Amino acid sequence: MLDYKYQDRDTVIHRLTPWSKLGWIASLVLLAVIFDHPVYLFLLFLSTIPVIAAARLTREWASLMKYCLFLCLAVVLINAIISQNGSHELVKAPFSIPLMGNLRITLEGIVCGVGNSLRLAAIISAFSVLILAIHPDDLMQGLIKMKLPYKSLLVASVSARFLPALLEDSRNIVAVQRSRGLEFSSGSKVQRTRNYMAIFIPLLSNSLERASQLAEVLESRGFGSKRRTFYKELKLTGSEIVVLISALLPGIFGIIIYSQGFGSYDYYPALEGIGFMGMEAICLIFLLFLATLVVFTALVKRRTEID
């Protein structure tokens, strides 16, 4: 079973400082939020794949996208049912629903749901880099150096680590209990409920013990003192600044073209045409290039470090 937590790999993406990766994630999430055109959103989703491939995280990413697919299908279904404003009616229910009237499923409602699903997929795909390619300690140190509240960041970092540790503990406990002959899929409902208590109690005990150990570690390391030191000091070198700029360029260029009217799309009352004018097509291709530029600058950075 795959673990959806930081994967330690020696890649050009992993060797970047958290600021460059956060800048790239922020750029793509910003563009996914402001753009409405489904083609723009689809290309934003595709632009995350080269970064995932460069980080050698395709296996974990594909597994995460399987769960995202179910969310996207749910978004399309809910949007098609709730939205009643489309002009191209596909299905109309013969009965009336309170507060909604006769249920209508329109082409515009389905396409709007697809657009929102592409937005969600692009955001989740970008955030997979945050989860899988940024070490929690590096992320915390990077945010601290951005003058964000230290204690709040510690709470967020501990919370982010707690869930993967909880899942790993639960898998280990299940394996141990099964090796002792305890079955979780057979017997009556009452018996299976009792068997699951053999997981819950040790899991609760391990969680409390982990919390106690964490408190002792924080106290022994002087948590709360005014002066803080780091085991590994993050530095923003000249080459890293170039990578950071390349990571922020998609967001800057996207805002510029959005202010010129590109990237918007009207789903209602009727679908707008998807065709692009010459300048918009050029801007879209250039935006796709900028979204993947961070991979090339990261490769150049590593090559200069080796030389």
Q: Give the integer Cα–Cα distance in Å for 188 and 191.
A: 5
pLDDT tens, the chain, 307 aa long:
556 678 888 899 998 999 999 999 999 999 999 999 999 999 999 999 999 999 999 998 998 898 899 999 999 998 888 887 777 877 777 767 676 667 778 888 899 999 999 999 999 999 999 888 988 888 888 888 888 787 777 777 777 677 777 878 888 888 888 888 777 777 677 777 777 788 888 888 888 888 888 888 877 877 766 676 666 778 888 889 999 999 999 999 999 999 998 988 888 888 888 777 788 889 999 999 999 999 999 998 888 876 5
State the helix-helix crossing angle for 278-306 and 38-54, rounded to 10 degrees.
10
Give the DSSP H/E element, type plus range, for residue 97.
strand 89-97
In 109-118, which positions are buried (b, 16+ CB within 10 angstroms) versus exposed (e)?
bbbbbbbbbb
Instruction: For residue 163, give both structure tokens.
Output: 């869930």
Q: Give the integer Cα–Cα distance in Å for 184 and 200.
A: 13
Give the DSSP H/E element, type plus range, for residue 104.
strand 101-106
Radius of gyration of the chain (CA): 24
Q: Give the integer Cα–Cα distance in Å for 62 and 56.
A: 12
Query: What type of residue sits at position 233?
Result: E
Q: What are phi and psi of 267, to 5 degrees?
A: -85, -30
Instruction: For residue 55, give both structure tokens.
Output: 């980080």
Q: What are phi and psi of 245, to 5 degrees?
A: -65, -45
Instruction: For residue 190, give both structure tokens.
Output: 């009452």
Q: Give the integer Cα–Cα distance in Å for 115 and 35.
A: 10
For 198-254, write each residue's pLDDT tens digit: 888 888 888 888 888 888 887 787 776 667 666 677 888 888 999 999 999 999 999
Question: Is the peptide bond between 149 and the residue preceding it cis, with omega within 30 degrees of 0?
Answer: no
Instruction: For residue 291, give both structure tokens.
Output: 């979204």
Give the DSSP H/E element, type plus range, for residue 202.
helix 189-220
Q: Give the integer Cα–Cα distance in Å for 176 and 280.
A: 59
Helices H / strands E in the chain, number of each: 9, 2
Q: Give the integer Cα–Cα distance in Å for 114 and 107.
A: 11
Closest CA to 14 of 304, 299, 307, 303: 299
Termini Cα distance of the chain: 39
| DSSP SS3 for 26 | helix
| DSSP SS3 for 101 | strand
Give the DSSP H/E element, type plus range, for residue 296.
helix 278-306
Read out DSSP for 63-92? HHHHHHHHHHHHHHHHHHHH----SSEEEE
Q: Where are the domains of the chain?
A: 18-141+234-306, 148-220
Closest CA to 11 of 63, 62, 50, 65: 50
pTM of the model: 0.81
